[in-house]
Structure 1
Amino acid sequence: MVTKLGIIGLSPGNGHPFSFSAIINGYDDGKMKESEWDVIYRYLNKKDLSDFGILDAIVTHCWTQEEELTKILAGACNIDHAVKRIEDMIPEVDGVIIARDDYESHYPIAKLFLEKDIPVFIDKPLTLNVEELSYFIPFLKTGKLMSSSSFRFSDEVYTAKKNVHHEQLNFFRGSIVNDWEKYGVHLIEGFSTLTSFEPTVVEYQPGLLDSYLIYLMNQEVLQINCLGNMKPIFKMEIFNKNQYITFDVKDNFSMFKRMLWHFIHSIKTRNPVIEAQVTVNIMKVLIAGNISKAEKRPVTIDEIGL
């Protein structure tokens, strides 16, 4: 049976509605090229026709904040229904993808579907609002809600997980373009798969760039460097007594596809893809980091509550 999906976007600088929809549906070459998402067009264009499609899913409905943009998205990604109201999707779809990284929009949109028992995927970060996070927790636990950075599913992180010496204490360092809230989460999500991710304290380090130290229960430490507006960099490093691993996360197509596969599969099983507490801990780290920067002090995760 076909799994019908709705896709919801767009936020500035984030072309995920186009990339996610194209990976599932395939795309119209001319219309995608005209959409002006050049980076997305280039990596899609390198793929064979056989690389597109996930299980039995199809994106059947889409909505963005602008009617003309919704039509462009529908045309580029072979989506049959460009709707004028988000609510028009509710009786028509088996799941929705909120492909926006402006976290302030997530709660009001997701609530429409979650309370109709429609599974939802929310682009990173889920929310930096404690009350909203509390609302989402039951849905995370039951598998009705999934939210993740695609770094968790990247080939590069998978390879590192196989090779890192887990019997030794590790120091993890990551450097990424742009800011803590929207991009730091990529590194936190990726590193969370490489260790027992039980954060205790977050400490902002002032300097030429935004740097954050995340202390873990197992005495390992993560350092996240957010480099601001510069040439894209997505570098992850692992240090221990006898080992140094470094890699750049580059293959957007494969990690997006793997992430979407897991969401679509979870629609059928209603089983959580990611343990709820892991997602909650990642959001609490982001919240603690904001407080640490604003108040110029280390912030314990316990201060966030929940």
Structure 2
Amino acid sequence: MGNIKLGMIGISEGNGHPYSWSAIFNGYNRSLIKECPFPSIPNYLSKQKFPKDAIKEGQVTHLWTQDKKISQNIAQTTYIENIVENYVDMIGKVDAILLARDDFKLHYKICKPFIEAGLPIYIDKPLANNIKEAKKIFALEQYEGQIFTCSALHYAKEFSISQAELEKIGPLQYVDACVMNSWGKYAVHIIEPVVKMIGSQGQQIEVTKSTAGQKNIVTVCWESGLQTTFTSLGNIDCPIKIRLFGEEGCKELVFKDTYYAFKKALQTFVDIIQKKEKPLNKHFVLKIIEIIEKGI
């Protein structure tokens, strides 16, 4: 497949992905982006060079949000040619869908007609907040690799640790990770990169949860003896951080480059469509959702 025509679906509270994801494919208007209601987006976009830093294999050609004025603003800012009245109107006009909303309770309803129509779809994190709903969505798949979902931090370069670095701190004994905002929507940003990083640790032997106000702390003890703690801090402003403790030392990893992570995640979706990458590992996704569910 050559230049992939993408349909963008947004927007949900506190989530500016329709602006940023569209810009990663289409570029953006430097004057209009200043009006974007998510200040971090023009900040990190301004550090890139377009069209050089855009994804070349796709273009967002169609857009739907539940608010016509927001749709018009996103479309003008990121050069989207078509705004549709109903998201299902994209069927037959695009090659793939970007469901850029993290209000996961609506994921099944919105994604169902596209999956049944055979379109590849990227569903924003988290796919669901419980195993039953996630399996219900996966059961819609018409073919292997049709559904893609992730936390973009799965691809963060700051959370890509080499085997040499792991060997330097020795066998892992404890991993601690924290993220701001709510557990339901944002815990995936730390759980997913940590589970990727620690590899096979056997079964979850024990999961404990404690809450204090908006703070949520979930500790997972694995069959291997490794203990991992995931903390969502509510409205406490803090960087997304992972700390690894081994027998020989420790290492702190701090997330910084949002653009890189978003672009890498979107590029992976495109590469799966073009069969340059293997389809999504559903077992891995369900392992992440299992921890999210236990923390609710």
- TM-score norm. by structure 2 comes to 0.92
Report SS of the residue matched to 1:269: coil
Q: Distance in 2 between matches of 1:64 and 1:184?
A: 25
* Counterpart for residue 127 of structure 2: 126
Kept in 2: contact 1:8–1:62 (CA 8 A): yes
Q: Distance in 2 between matches of 1:140 and 1:184?
A: 29
Kept in 2: contact 1:199–1:214 (CA 8 A): no
CA positional deviation for 1:168: 1.3
Query: In the TM superposition, what are the counterparts of 1:199-278 in structure 2 within 5 Å?
Result: 199-200=203-204, 201-207=206-212, 209-269=215-275, 272-278=278-284
Kept in 1: contact 2:181–2:232 (CA 8 A): yes
Kept in 1: contact 2:178–2:241 (CA 8 A): yes
**Using a 3 Å threshold, how does the CA distance of structure 1 residues 264 and 243 change in structure 2: closer, same or farther?**
same
* Counterpart for residue 45 of structure 2: 44
Kept in 2: contact 1:175–1:227 (CA 8 A): yes
Q: Distance in 2 between matches of 1:45 and 1:204?
A: 40
**Using a 3 Å threshold, how does the CA distance of structure 1 residues 179 and 161 change in structure 2: closer, same or farther?**
farther
Amino acid at match of 1:269: K
Of the three residues 160, 167, 173, the one matched with 2:176 is 173
**Using a 3 Å threshold, how does the CA distance of structure 1 residues 163 and 141 change in structure 2: closer, same or farther?**
farther
* Counterpart for residue 297 of structure 1: none
Measured against aligned partners, the alpha-carbon deviations of 1:80-113 in whole angstroms (never above 9, x if no partner) come to 1111110111111111111111101111111111
CA positional deviation for 1:51: 4.0
Report SS of the residue matched to 2:198: coil
* Counterpart for residue 59 of structure 2: 58
* Counterpart for residue 158 of structure 2: 156
Report SS of the residue matched to 2:21: helix
Query: In the TM superposition, what are the counterparts of 1:108-147 in structure 2 within 5 Å?
Result: 108-138=109-139, 139=141, 142-147=144-149
Measured against aligned partners, the alpha-carbon deviations of 1:155-191 in whole angstroms (never above 9, x if no partner) come to 1011366622396133110111112111111000110
Query: In the TM superposition, what are the counterparts of 1:59-98 in structure 2 within 5 Å?
Result: 59-98=60-99
Structure 1 residues 171-180 or 211-220, which shifts more?
211-220
Report SS of the residue matched to 1:245: strand
Number of residue pairs matched by the alignment: 290
Q: Distance in 1 between matches of 2:164 and 2:15?
A: 31
Amino acid at match of 2:158: E
Q: Distance in 2 between matches of 1:77 and 1:170?
A: 46
CA positional deviation for 1:77: 0.7
Amino acid at match of 1:151: L
- Percent of pairs identical after alignment? 29
**Using a 3 Å threshold, how does the CA distance of structure 1 residues 92 and 232 change in structure 2: closer, same or farther?**
farther
Q: Distance in 2 between matches of 1:151 and 1:267?
A: 21
Kept in 2: contact 1:143–1:271 (CA 8 A): no
Q: Distance in 2 between matches of 1:11 and 1:161?
A: 38
Q: Distance in 1 between matches of 2:117 and 2:276?
A: 15
CA positional deviation for 1:53: 2.0
Amino acid at match of 1:245: K
Which ranges of structure 1 fall in alignment gaps of 5 or more residues?
A: 291-306
Kept in 1: contact 2:176–2:243 (CA 8 A): yes
CA positional deviation for 1:40: 0.2
CA positional deviation for 1:228: 1.1
Q: Distance in 1 between matches of 2:241 and 2:165?
A: 17
Which ranges of structure 2 fall in alignment gaps of 5 or more residues?
A: none
CA positional deviation for 1:263: 0.3
Measured against aligned partners, the alpha-carbon deviations of 1:202-256 in whole angstroms (never above 9, x if no partner) come to 2103457321102223322210111110224211110011021102101000000
Q: Distance in 1 between matches of 2:126 and 2:143?
A: 17
Q: Distance in 2 between matches of 1:210 and 1:161?
A: 31
Provide runs of 4+ in structure 1 moved above 6 Å: none
* CA-atom RMSD in angstroms: 2.0
- TM-score norm. by structure 1 comes to 0.89
Structure 1 residues 137-146 or 83-92, which shifts more?
137-146
Measured against aligned partners, the alpha-carbon deviations of 1:109-141 in whole angstroms (never above 9, x if no partner) come to 111111111011111110124432122334398
Q: Distance in 1 between matches of 2:177 and 2:262?
A: 20
